[in-house]
Structure 1
Amino acid sequence: MKLTMKQHGFRIELPHQTLDIDGNELFGIRPYQLMVSSIAGCSASVFRKIMDKQRLEIDDMEVSAEVERDEMAANRISRITLTFVVRGFHLDKEQLEKNLQLAHNNCSMVQTVKDSIEIEERLEVIHLNHY
């Protein structure tokens, strides 16, 4: 991975896209947004793989992230709350909670930061009916 300086921030060329990184959202994605999206994306991907292996009838899933930062410590990320909204058919919330904990334990990004950032996952299940 190589970052190249540009007028504002840095650019990284990835196989499928170019990503501009800058502390100012006008010029690119902010570094803390990359960190949070990496953690949320990894966690969601592992959670989805677990549900796919169990052949659960998932229609859709969204993940939102709330971030707390500590201004007294270089504005570091101190806490991330991930809320997973899963929509589907015949869903067992208790099983999904177990799957989410399994995802937490197997997400490489969560495991990388678990000693420095508090990560909380919440689950909302929306049951859909067949018509």
Structure 2
Amino acid sequence: MKFSMNEHGFTGHLPFGELHVSTDEEYGFRPYQLLVSSLAICSAGIIRKVLEKKRMPAEDIEVEVKEVVRIDEEAGRVAKVHLHFRIKGDIEEEKMPRVMELTRKNCSMVRSVENSIEVVESYELV
């Protein structure tokens, strides 16, 4: 990964394309948005894989970030993120606690922040 400064922030030059990052969301993604996105998408991807392994493939998974708590006195540090998953498919409700446990255990992004950011996960089957 390589990032270059530009007039309003930085541009990441990544294999998939350019990523524009700025403290002003008029010019790119804000750093905290990328952090929260990483937590959300990593978790959703693991849920998808776990459900497939349990032979209950999801037809669709939607992730809503219900809450982001930032502490202004600590440079706007992200202290808490609440992720809510809406999972569509023929999913057995009684297996979901284990699915969520395996998701938390195997999501590298959640594991990376587990001692500094409280990550709350909830779900509903639709």
> Shorter-chain TM-score category?
over 0.9
Equivalent residue letter for 1:116: S
Q: Give CA-to-partner distance per residue, 1:52-95, whole Å, 9 cap, x none.
A: 11221422110111211111211110000010100112x22221
Measure, in 2, the Cα distance between the counterparts of 1:32 and 1:6. Answer: 19
Aligned residue in 2 for 1:78:
79
Equivalent residue letter for 1:76: R
CA contact (8 A) 1:60 1:87 kept: yes
Measure, in 1, the Cα distance between the counterparts of 2:81 and 2:19. Answer: 23
Deviation at 1:97, TM superposition (A): 2.3
CA contact (8 A) 1:11 1:20 kept: yes
User: 5+ unaligned residues in a row in structure 2: which ranges?
Assistant: none
Structure ID, larger Rg: 1
Measure, in 1, the Cα distance between the counterparts of 2:89 and 2:36. Answer: 26
Equivalent residue letter for 1:38: S
Aligned length: 125
Alignment map for 1:98-117 (pairs within 5 Å): 98-117=98-117
Aligned residue in 2 for 1:68:
69
Q: Give CA-to-partner distance per residue, 1:19-56, whole Å, 9 cap, x none.
A: 00001000000000010001111111111111111221
Question: TM-score, normalising length from structure 2?
Answer: 0.94
Equivalent residue letter for 1:110: V
CA contact (8 A) 2:48 2:58 kept: no
Question: TM-score, normalising length from structure 1?
Answer: 0.91
Aligned residue in 1 for 2:5:
5
Equivalent residue letter for 2:6: K
